[in-house]
Amino acid sequence: MDIPPNHHKKVSEILELLKSYKSDYMENGVFPNLEDAFGKALFNTFRCYVPESHYPVKYTKHTDPRGSFVEIARTQTSGQFSFSTTVSGITRGNHYHTRKAERFAVISGKALIQLRKIGTEEVINYYLDGTEPAYVDMPIWYTHNIKNIGEDELITLFWINEPYDPEDADTYFEDV
């Protein structure tokens, strides 16, 4: 059977994209432009190979007498930013995506973020505390959740590269 390619790219073009992902994303936390289907697929594949030790990534917190300011994410594309509050002991999530790039940023409270690659049993645990705001990015094909493990309310900011569309949600429920 002959299956025609979906995209035509030179190896040098792919290498440049991968180098930019390493520089922009891994070293500076900047999401690339995800509007091109090939670029989005390559970036999502790249994210599946980010070492576990890369997370959680600590934010720079700027504090003065007025309070604190933390930049959540820089992007070369659009997307949706949102936040949630979660009461003690509650778990949110337990789903995965096949194309969406997503970031969970804990800014207040204590959280356990869990990930498990679909088809495997190994669970990755990340403990985050809002006293040192940090984030974890969710790779595609990893079911994930976030649980408030503290006594106080958990405040989490979320960024996802495409606004939620109930007609094309790309959200598949499976327990971590």
pLDDT per position as a tens digit, 3-52: 888 888 999 999 999 999 999 999 988 899 988 889 999 999 999 999 99
Per-position DSSP letters for 135-176, written without gaps between them = EEEE-TTEEEEEEE-SSSPEEEEEEESS---TTS---EE---
Structure token digits, residue 55 = 């997370």
Q: How confident is the model at residue 75 (pLDDT cuts 50, 70, 90)?
A: confident
Q: What is the pLDDT of residue 176?
A: 98
142 and 95 Cβ atoms separated by less than 8 Å? no
pLDDT per position as a tens digit, 99-144: 999 999 999 999 999 999 999 999 999 999 999 999 999 999 999 9
The SS3 assignment for 66 reads: coil
Q: What percent of the chain has pLDDT over 90?
A: 73
Structure token digits, residue 28 = 């500076």
Structure token digits, residue 152 = 């106080």
In a domain, 123, yes or no: yes
The model's pTM is 0.79
In a domain, 13, yes or no: no
Q: What is the pLDDT of residue 19?
A: 97
34 and 43 Cβ atoms separated by less than 8 Å? yes
Q: What is the pLDDT of residue 43?
A: 96
Q: Residue 92: which CATH number? A: 2.60.120.10
Q: What is the pLDDT of residue 131?
A: 96
Rounded to an integer, what distance in angstroms lies between the CA atom of residue 21 and that of residue 40? 11
Q: How confident is the model at residue 95 (pLDDT cuts 50, 70, 90)?
A: very high
Q: Roughly how many angstroms between the first and final C-alpha of the chain, as a whole number?
A: 37
Instruction: Find residue 111's DSSP bridge partners.
Output: 128, 148
In a domain, 44, yes or no: no
Rounded to an integer, what distance in angstroms lies between the CA atom of residue 17 and that of residue 84? 33
144 and 96 Cβ atoms separated by less than 8 Å? yes
Q: What is the pLDDT of residue 124?
A: 98
For the chain, what is the domain count? 1
Q: How confident is the model at residue 155 (pLDDT cuts 50, 70, 90)?
A: very high
The SS3 assignment for 32 reads: coil
Q: What mean pLDDT, rounded, does the chain reach?
A: 92
In a domain, 103, yes or no: yes
Q: What is the pLDDT of residue 169?
A: 93
In a domain, 18, yes or no: no
Q: What is the pLDDT of residue 80?
A: 83
In a domain, 148, yes or no: yes
Instruction: Find residue 136's DSSP bridge partners.
Output: 104
In a domain, 8, yes or no: no
Rounded to an integer, what distance in angstroms lies between the CA atom of residue 104 and that of residue 113? 9
Q: What is the pLDDT of residue 79?
A: 80
Task: Centre a 10 Å sphere on the Cβ of residue 86 and count the other Cβ atoms it contains.
Answer: 18
Q: Which domain holds residue 144?
A: 53-173
In a domain, 94, yes or no: yes
